[in-house]
Structure 1
């Protein structure tokens, strides 16, 4: 018997969906998982195929983490994906109640802003934009983000990353000033974003510090966390267990593919 394929609805900002008042969209910013196109800075030490497989594990774990944080009716999971036309590569990877929305825009900041704008146009009361490089973010951080965004009044929620960027930004309005003239892919992204919010008199709620996995050094940090139970030195909370990533790293270690 051929296994059934699970695909996901594609959201259209021109056609608002029926959502619960104030519902939060938790949107993972993701590239379609093709070898040589994702996690390229992890190759070496990994092969392009291994990096793509690890990317799929990150995506599965992040989606399941989001699903576990989502109070029924209060938040939903979304994948904001690129390139358009590759939505089929996400089949069977996500929890059943996830949806997809294509990214638009040229630079990274444009794509972040457009995703926030499009999801708010779909009818959601707030949006979290979440990176796909942090599979062990503590579930408490996602729960805090949802709770803060569902309080009255405007604010942003931001999760600082160890490299100076952020792993999550949550908004109730699509503030363009938070994405314009930011030096993306530098160690000042978090600080510049907070400064832009302060300049615009927008309340800022800062989540616990965590880390992105995008090079050999942070891959070692992840491996230590998941296989050796060694929490990152800055951690104040236990990370998500990330079982797909854990199993894949264990298989790499057993084959000598990651030490």
Structure 2
């Protein structure tokens, strides 16, 4: 059945509060709405949380316009609702939207209330709502909604760094006046409180005035301090995976999950890692399989994701990783990223950031809390990093650093993540996803 409403939420590094926001939308999903989360390259727990709590998760270039267009693409819903991650909908929001559209409106927005104690915020929200009624212009904080067919006919949001909501409103206004719903959405006041209420008010009014006077979005983005869109870079990706056989996979989780449960966890972790690698779209993905690529699970993944599969060699994890790097650099000159399947927090944004780091460094690493590492990337072969390492011990990262120093190469360490190896790690993951 086609959803009547598609909620598109652009996010980037919203991990600390995203689960709460997405769980608040569960009743709408139960009533048939589709929830699409569009990640702009997060490097925190955003991706893992969204995968667990949304109907669809999409990776897009950073920037609300590009992200919202990506989320809307392919939808067959009657209406699209563009919702910021820090904005809460009122009860029955989908019914209010449906009534407005059934009354003949092509688009609309809600009144907004800003969550914060500063008295000036009451003035800000009143002026926002009044200005919107008078001008027919809506902002993203007001949860803009639109008929999907109208949105598509206008070509979606303009691909600009700032003022994408104002620009689209101006074009929608030619179709018709917006439905200005008096029911309020509640948006976070963190932007005002972080930078100072009066300073933020002044900046926003200056930006809006400059926009109407013809100043371009790139200039306004620099004034606003918008970080810009990271440059695209390319690399191949190798995923080291073990077949999900009871008694042979994730056995340290068996005290909590049992042998079959641990194998099922291995299956899910492998599927999620492969989805992450493919979503990052940095380059071709190869699944390095143990005991070999003939296992039915790996054959299914190869068909589902159109990835290459190869057999891991015998030996310790160092020998197997060295095999993957040696094989790659014997046939290619682009960088290679290599990761296992034990870190559900690894996101496409991490892979993209790692590739960008390799433009300046020979090696990039994502350390793990247990003293190892989640990911290693190289732009040229550095075999010493796999030699003389006490694998599966807390000394792995420290010994790897020493090998890198001895080799005279430059390297970058990204933010530390954590693997799911022990029952405590498993419960930590469950707590994160239920937050």
Q: How high is the TM-score relative to the length of structure 1?
A: 0.73
Pair 1:123 & 2:332 matched: yes
2:372 corresponds to 1:165 = yes
Shift of 1:162: 0.7
Of 277, 281, 293, which residue of structure 2 is paired with 1:70?
281
3-state SS of paired residue (1:58): helix
The separation in 2 between residues aligned to 1:58 and 1:182, in whole angstroms, is: 25
- Cα distance in structure 2, aligned partners of 1:147 and 1:105: 32
Deviation of 1:79 after TM superposition, in Å, equals 0.9
Who is 1:48 aligned against?
A: 259
What corresponds to 2:287 in structure 1?
Answer: 79
Greater C-alpha radius of gyration: 2
Q: Using the alignment, how far apart are the partners of 1:112 and 1:183 within structure 2? A: 14
Q: Does 1:210 pair with 2:417? A: yes
Structure 1 regions of 5+ residues with no counterpart? 1-21, 230-259
Distance 2:258 2:425 in 1: 16
Instruction: Report what 1:59 is aligned to.
Output: 270
Counterpart of 2:238 in structure 1 is 27
Please, which of 376, 384, 387 is the counterpart of residue 177 of structure 1?
384
Cα distance between partner residues in 2 of 1:204 and 1:123 = 21
Q: CA deviation at 1:89?
A: 2.4
Contact persistence 1:28–1:131 (CA under 8 A):
yes
Aligned partners of 1:144 and 1:57: how far apart in 2?
Answer: 24
Match of 2:64 in 1: none
Residues matched between the structures, number: 202
Shift of 1:159: 0.4
Cα deviations across residues 50-78 of structure 1 (Å, max 9, x unaligned)?
Answer: 1111111101111111112124xxx1221
Contact 2:293–2:299 under 8 Å retained in 1: no
Task: Give the deviation of 1:85 after TM superposition.
Answer: 5.2
1:92 equivalenced with 2:303 (yes/no): no
More helix by share: 2
Determine if contact 1:24/1:124 at 8 Å carries over to the other structure: no
Is the contact between residue 293 and residue 310 of structure 2 (CA under 8 Å) also seen in structure 1? Answer: no
- Find the counterpart in structure 2 of residue 133 from structure 1: 342
User: Counterpart of 2:317?
Assistant: 108
CA shift, 1:128, in A, is 1.2
Deviation of 1:222 (Å): 0.8
Q: What residue is the counterpart of 1:19 in the other structure?
A: none
**Matched-pair contact (CA < 8 Å) for 2:247–2:259:** yes
Determine helix, strand or coil for the equivalent of 1:212.
coil
- Does the aligned pair in 2 maintain the 1:156–1:169 contact within 8 Å? yes
Alpha-carbon separation, structure 2, partners of 1:29 and 1:124: 21
- The runs of at least 4 consecutive aligned structure 1 residues that moved more than 3 Å come to 85-88
Secondary structure of the residue aligned to 1:37 is coil
- Where relative contact order (Cα < 8 A, 6+ residues apart) is larger, the structure is 1
RMSD (Å) for aligned C-alpha atoms:
1.8
Structure 2 length normalisation: TM-score? Answer: 0.44
State the alpha-carbon separation in 2 of the partners of residues 85 and 156 from structure 1: 28
Deviation at 1:146, TM superposition (A): 1.6
Contact 1:61 1:135 in 2 (8 A): yes
Q: Distance in 2 between matches of 1:118 and 1:36?
A: 30
- Please say if residues 25 and 124 of structure 1, whose CA atoms lie closer than 8 Å, have aligned partners that are also in contact: no
